[in-house]
């Protein structure tokens, strides 16, 4: 199906020269002088090569028909990451280059949106937020008020994040899966 380039977003799959590409980053650029363009950073699904393309915003691009379905993350092993369709109970293995830098945020039982093309998982979208436990951080300093100063903390998934001073080791916190930034203390 042909769509205009400016409507493409991260996670969409496009067909170019007979090959499929998943969009990693899409930005519409409107210079002060000249034609607006859409800058796309893409990864070729067949071999993982990253490419960068520019299209005029009104240019037609072939978007591949991909099924986006909810899947549940089961486990990871040497073959990749394993997901299950909760409706049909079919399992699908996804390679590590598809999951990429989102791997630390995957938790067993987590519901994710998986894009499948001809039975192969090609793109993954995590929930915006995930909850992890703080395993290492500086101790609380008495008299420190709730200010905008943050301290470094190591989370149970191995990611470093900046947390408020009142957060201690063992506290469960909610972080953004896009960049690992602190959102709030977990309510559970």
Q: Whose structure tokens read 């800058």?
A: 39
Query: Could you give the count of Cα atoms lying within 13 Å of 58 in the half-sphere of its Cβ?
Result: 2
Task: Provide the pLDDT for residue 22.
Answer: 86
151-169 pLDDT tens trace: 899 999 999 999 988 889 9
The residues pairing with 133 across neighbouring beta strands, listed in sequence order, are 172
DSSP 141: P
DSSP 174: E
- The mean of the pLDDT values for the chain is 88
- What is the pTM assigned to this prediction? 0.71
For residues 25 and 21, give the distance between their C-alpha atoms in angstroms, rounded to a whole number: 12
Structure tokens at 77: 């092993």
Domains and CATH numbers, the chain: 2-63 (2.30.30.30), 67-125 (2.40.50.140), 129-185 (2.40.50.140)
């Amino acid at each position: 199906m042909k769509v205009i380039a400016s409507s493409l977003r991260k996670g969409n799959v496009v067909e170019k020269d007979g090959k499929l590409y998943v969009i990693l980053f899409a930005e519409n650029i409107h210079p002060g002088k000249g034609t607006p363009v859409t800058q796309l950073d893409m990864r070729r699904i067949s071999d993982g090569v990253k490419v960068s393309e520019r299209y005029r915003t009104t240019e037609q691009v072939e978007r591949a028909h991909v099924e986006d379905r909810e899947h549940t993350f089961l486990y990871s092993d040497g073959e990749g990451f394993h997901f299950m369709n909760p409706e049909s109970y079919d399992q699908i293995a996804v390679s590590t280059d598809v999951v990429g830098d989102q791997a630390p945020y995957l938790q067993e039982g987590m519901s994710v949106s998986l894009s499948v093309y001809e039975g192969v998982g090609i793109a993954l979208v995590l929930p915006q937020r995930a909850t992890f436990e703080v395993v290492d951080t500086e101790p609380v300093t008495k008299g420190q008020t709730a200010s905008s100063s943050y301290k470094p903390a190591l989370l149970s998934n191995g990611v470093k994040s900046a947390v408020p001073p009142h957060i201690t080791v063992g506290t469960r916190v909610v972080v953004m899966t896009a960049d690992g930034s602190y959102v709030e203390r977990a309510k559970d």
